[in-house]
A and B are shown apart, each in its own frame.
Chain A
Amino acid sequence: MKFKSSSLAVLMVISAAAHAQSSVTLYGVLDSGLLYQSTSAATFLPTARNLGHVYQLKDGGIYASYWGMKGSEDIGGGYKITFKLQGSFNTTNGKFGLSDTPGTTALFNQYATVGATGPFGTFDAGRQIIPMIYAMAETDVRGAQYFGSILTAWLGVNQAAGWPGTSTNAPIGALYDSNALVYTSPKFYGTTLALEYAPGGVAGQFQGGTRESAVLKYSNYGLNLSAVYYNGHDTNPFPLTYPTAPATPATGLDNNRFYYFGAMYTISGFSVSASYALGKNPAKSSTVDFEMASGGLGYQFNPSFKITSGYYYLKDRNNSANHSSEFAVGAEYNLSLRTKAYAQVGYVNNKGTMNQTIIYGAPVAPGVSTTAAMVGIRHSF
């Protein structure tokens, strides 16, 4: 009884402290399902062996499972100070998600930002999901979901460019950037501009490890348009054998460039999308130079049921033997406001050294075709 009243007192203190903030929200999502995949591999190496079909409990059928806290404080004059802490975790084993260093996870691997919003727009500083990914998600009927979408296609480009999948440092573009400073303009007749700069923090090397990107978006009249430019210096400096072999020292080498153009149109229950992208390593464009194209079609049958589909094509511009086509279709049914059930099927035909996956986190055998199916549930709190 004594314990109870003391814990109540603690709670009261905490809630009083929480009220000093304008608002703090604790939130999260758990997403888990059963996956069947007809091929699998242990790594993203182009020589990886086909380990055969696999049945597994799989995290993240729609998006990652994550939890986080966010809050804002009104400082008057239309200005607010905001923060966001968010980390992904794996529902099947409870482990945290990838960070920017191989072999290390991070508690808040998705967002650790402090920022401000006001009439000037929005500014956020810290590790975050960068504007380029939102620009891609908003012009993909599959919404850059973890199963068969513009996200898995873009990751396929990265795998082909040598990404080992052990950290979030992608060789082409980025999903997350550490040290990022992101400015987003107010909306002007449906148009917004987002600019990102991430200082590398490398001593004696101003350009070392820096990232810069610009995203231009339009959204009105049922139409979303996105244009992306991304450029990175010294991205993915970790060799496959890291930490045994050390990371490549940052020299300011311009080695990551990505362009993307996409559109999505929504009319009645239908959505259609298309995109085209180029990604290359400007320092080694004779080996890393890829093309990505997509098309999508979806239909919302009623407020709780929809079907979305997408086609994703990847091509190695240096070697036409390496290309990949993927088709995915998924059905989502909202059981309630906070819970949805889903079923999705994907097929990928990888040629040459390509290994475009069907779902994030489940490598497929390179150079062969693979089928995958998943049923699962996504619950938010």
Chain B
Amino acid sequence: MKTIKALELAVAGWFVAASTIAWSQPGEAASAPASAQGASEMAASGPVAPAGRKADRALRRKVYAAIGKYKEISAGDISVIVKDGAVTLNGTVTEAAQIGNVEAITRRVSGVMSVTNKLTVKKPFGGM
């Protein structure tokens, strides 16, 4: 019982941590152009997580934002995982042609080093 409680707490804590980190992204992304002029600013603003993981999370958001611009693609069915700029796509699209389209959209996002495409087609309910 005690271990379950501890586990629950740990999970809850992880979620809180994850959500605060996630929420800090938009501001960080907005300040990115400024920090291009002074690299020291960026280093000062983000001592919480290693720069690599932070950059990966920001890149993940950018990829989702890019895919989300295409209204025929449901970015809610797609998993984007970024590790050191290498993107892995999982999940489903509704048309075979979208598998390549999503990959192409992802490749156009600046900062993406490589794309591993594991997308599959899942026809929506009732059809075509």
Using CB atoms and an 8 Å cutoff, list the residues of chain A in contact with chain B. Answer: 25, 27, 29, 63-64, 66, 68, 70, 86, 110-111, 129, 133-134, 137-138, 143-144, 186-187, 189-190, 218-225, 264, 266-269, 271, 300, 302-304, 306, 334, 337, 380
Q: Closest Cβ of chain B: how far from A183's Cβ, in Å?
A: 15
Q: Is the C-beta of B102 less than 8 angstroms from some C-beta in chain A?
A: no
Cα distance A355–B15 in the bound complex, in angstroms: 39
Q: Are A134 and B128 within 8 A (Cβ)? A: no
Q: Closest 9 interchain pairs by CB?
A: A219-B76, A224-B76, A137-B125, A187-B71, A220-B75, A129-B126, A219-B74, A266-B91, A220-B68
User: Once the chains bind, are B128 and A27 in contact (CB under 8 Å)?
Assistant: yes
A137 to B71, CA, bound (A): 19
- Chain B residues within 8 Å of A27, by CB: 128
Contact status A86-B127, CB under 8 Å? yes
A134-B125 contact, Cβ under 8 Å, with A190-B76, A219-B77: yes
Would you give the 0/1 interface string for B43-82, flagging 1 where the beta carbon is closer than 8 Å to chain A?
A: 0000000000000000001001001100100111111110
Q: A222-B79, A300-B120 are in contact. Are A266 and B90 (CB under 8 A)?
A: yes
Determine whether the beta carbon of B77 is less than 8 Å from that of A63: no
Q: Residues of B contacting A111 with CB < 8 Å?
A: 126
Q: Is the CB of A190 within 8 A of B126?
A: no
Main secondary structure of the interface of A (DSSP, over half): strand
Contact B124 A218 (CB under 8 A): no
Please determine whether A190 and B128 come into contact, CB atoms closer than 8 angstroms: no
Instruction: Judge if B34 is at the interface, Cβ distance under 8 Å.
Output: no
Q: With A222-B76, A267-B79, A269-B118 in contact, do A63 and B126 touch (Cβ < 8 Å)?
A: yes
Given A189-B68, A303-B118, 11 further pairs, Cβ under 8 A: A129-B126, A137-B124, A223-B76, A224-B74, A224-B76, A225-B76, A266-B77, A266-B90, A268-B90, A269-B79, A303-B120
Interface flags for B86-128 (1: CB within 8 Å of A; 0: not) read 0010111000100000000000000000000011111111111
Assign chain B's interface to a size class.
Answer: 20 to 34
CA gap between A86 and B128 in the complex, in Å: 10
Q: In the complex, what distance in Å separates the CA atom of A110 from the CA atom of B125?
A: 11
Q: A68-B128, A133-B125 are in contact. Are A190 and B75 (CB under 8 A)?
A: yes
User: Do the beta carbons of A70 and B80 come within 8 Å of each other?
Assistant: no
Partner of B79, one of A144, A190, A268: A268
| B79: chain A residues within 8 A (beta carbon) | 222, 266-269
Q: Which of A133, A269, A300 contacts B126 (CB 8 A)?
A: A133
Task: Report yes or no: A143 in contact with B122, Cβ–Cβ below 8 A.
Answer: yes
Q: Which residues of B contact A63 (CB under 8 A)?
A: 123, 125-127
Asked if A220 and B124 sit within 8 Å, CB to CB, the answer is: no
CB-based nearest B residue for A306: B120
Q: Is there an interface contact between A302 and B118, defined as CB atoms closer than 8 Å?
A: yes
Nearest CB of chain B from residue A155's CB, rounded to whole Å: 14
Chain A residues with CB under 8 A of B125: 63, 129, 133-134, 137, 143-144
B-chain residues with CB within 8 Å of residue A186 when the two chains form the complex: 71
List the A side residues contacting B120 at CB < 8 Å.
300, 303-304, 306, 334
Beta-carbon nearest neighbor of B126 in chain A = A129
Nearest CB in chain B to that of A190: its residue: B68
Q: Are B126 and A266 in contact (CB under 8 A)?
A: no
Distance between Cα atoms of A222 and B60 in the complex (Å): 11
